[in-house]
Structure 1
Amino acid sequence: MRFTVQSQRFHSQRFQTPRSRQVYATPGVLVTAGSIGLALLLLLTVFFGDWLRAPGLQAFASRALFSPNNDGSFDIFDLTYDLQNSANITVEVFSETARVRLLQSQNNQAPGKHFLTWDGRDQNGALLPDGAYRVQITAQSVFRSESRTLNAQIDTSPPSVKILNSDEQMRVNSAELLLEGVSEPGAVLWWNGAMHSIIASDGRFSIPLRLQEGPNLVTLRIIDEAGNASEVRREILLSTRGPEITLLRPTENEWTNQQVIEVQGRITPRGEVTINQQRVQTSEDGFFRHQVLLTAGANLLHIEAKDELGNITSLNRTVYFKTGASSIQLNIEDGAILTTSTLQLVGKVEPGSRVSVNGQQVAVGMLGDFQVALPLLEGQNVIEIQTIDQAGNSNRLVRNITYNPNLGRETNWNQIGANFSQAPWLVIPALLLTLIVLGFLYWRRNHVELALSVNQSTFTPGLPAENHLLEIYLDLSQTARVTLEVLDEHGRPRATLLRQRRKMGRRHIIPWNGLDDQARMLPPGLYTIRAEAGSPPLQVTCSVPVQIERKGVSGSAQPVSTRQTVGNDWRR
């Protein structure tokens, strides 16, 4: 440039006249001067255009809320800014009152996207309190600057959670439970490790639960928008079983002769007890006692226990109340005179009673019948029978029996001898008459009328504890030895109930449980119950059919009987 100016001056001086000399520019000079001016204009335009151009700053943040508590969730505030032109960048953080952090200062950066994070701390590295902050980004070019402001919110407080219908340890008796609570609106609700829902704007939430019997652990985790988390645990115990009842007294089917009975027992503590709908007081450990007034006969005691949740357990007990002595039936009257040395004592008492004869315990059948053979001493014998029924009532009966083996023998033989001495011709007729009388007496003594019947024609045996029995009725016209058997369809004996047992002339009830001689239950089929009484040649036989069925098959319950009074059975 300097050279060019000097050249122009040289050319001007060359063509100047001494005084009023005119200067004439040649075309070459004009072209040169124009070129130089245009170059200068372009340089100035480019230089000042760059200086006057704006940075073109744009900035945004991914989220305003963050929680710098090192829990791994939204711990930093991250921002992104975009420059269209190079500029010096300054990033500052302001609270409501002052600047708290300088993130960048006059950092020259090229056009493009740039990223920056803030850890929520001040210039000294201290964690700032929760609240609202401004992050200001300033881009400075040569002559122009631009600023952008982003809002940031520090929130390190975990969201509050309140369960409305559950304590820390809760007991319920229903498997369906709707757990309700309140927390921070917009927070995410996690239940037992899985995301459940986002809490509504009113802050309320509900979780339908399906509980299992016993303890159920429920874990709720609430995460707010800043990443802060709160966790709530609840143990909910589902109990649908009623309280346990241990009844100490009375026992099942207890008999008593006391009109007032005391009921004692124990339940689960803190429960309620009622006996026949009457409230009963319980101690801290669940023990209770209560007196009940009984009526004659069977009394049903209904014990009901209820726990705190409303679960109910009930128990029934039957108690029998009876007063008064039970009757005793014997086959011999007081003052009887016997010529035999053994007394076959047969009697009947109330079923379930205990019987002793002369201080010795005697077995009693299920129907209350008993029999015992008693040796007699010559002369006076005292027979004492004592009985105690199931309720504890006792009775005593005494029989005075005389044993005289020589009664009537001496007098009869002396009279017969005198008659024969006065009329010897009567000997032969007397002998014949004696034989006829003896034969008649023998027939009379051994002729037995026998009747056999059962209470049902179809019998379904059960287990021994079920007490399923078939009653066989045996009627004898006089005392005889009896054999009672059960025969199958082929006539083979399967069960022997009596074998040559001496039975008195009356009705006898023999129970049978459906078992054979080896205590095995007989299979279903048609069987024959056969009874034999007496001895040959005057032996009588009766039989009655019985159909044995399995459980669940109903049959006729009409009594079936047969009677036979003629007794010569030569096949036996």
Structure 2
Amino acid sequence: MIHGIRITSVVAVVVALTLGCGWKRTGTSPKEEIGGGGVSTVELTLHNVTQEQAKKFMEDLDDYGDIEKIELKTWANGTAVYVIDVDGCECDLPAMMGKIPEPGFTYQGRTTRISYTAFDNRPPSLTFVQPEDGFITKDKQIQVVVQVPDEDVAQVTINGKPTSRSGDKFSVTLPLSDGANDIVAVAKDKTGNESKAQIRVGLDATPPEVTATVTVLIEGDVEPGTRVIVNGEEVPVDGDGHYEAKVKVKKGQKEVEVIAIDSHGNRTETMRPIGE
């Protein structure tokens, strides 16, 4: 708390600060504190100014170091409303706003004054620590760890499950289904801002199937001029009627088919045991 100033979950509160020229910053009363989150938007109201003065004030603020962007949202009846993007902690905001140069304007005999409302509408930072996106494992469960460095983080869930916290790390062990698994992490801060991050991991718990073939030599003798077919493939027969063939057989196969066809078309089919 600085000079009675606190940032609420909805507004930044400014107690009246009277400067040398009688210019004031005023605000409303707080309801509950945000925590340690970052302020990203300030709605600043300049009371008792002409439209030209409002534009000049915006030009002056545009060069102010702590302000990333400023926009004149509205001006009506001597009141200008600006939307300002800042980058900082709410604990620094009162001092930041206190350094804004005084405009030194008057409007219809009244001294210009400022009030502002700050909004924590920046979602928390959320990153996966482990596993990496695309990771494939044979284990049917996996430990998932995410990192949320924001001080005002209120809740972190992974695939809808609550997590265990250690510093700025949040972890949970999840079951996996065979194939692709989507993992979704959600982080919320005390203001209600929410971040989501997603990765996909794979489970491959099926052992590889091993197939093997062996090569055996099948040989024999037939009458010269006879055609021989072994395991569906015709093999050469020499002038003495001898044939031989190297045949690939699967594991557990115990015999191969041998077909002999003579020159007259007579056909003999034999199942030849392997190894004999």
TM category, shorter: 0.3 to 0.5
The TM-score normalised by the length of structure 2 is 0.45
The TM-score normalised by the length of structure 1 is 0.25
Relative to its length, the structure with more helix (as a share) is 1
Structure scoring higher RCO (CA < 8 A, sep ≥ 6) equals: 2
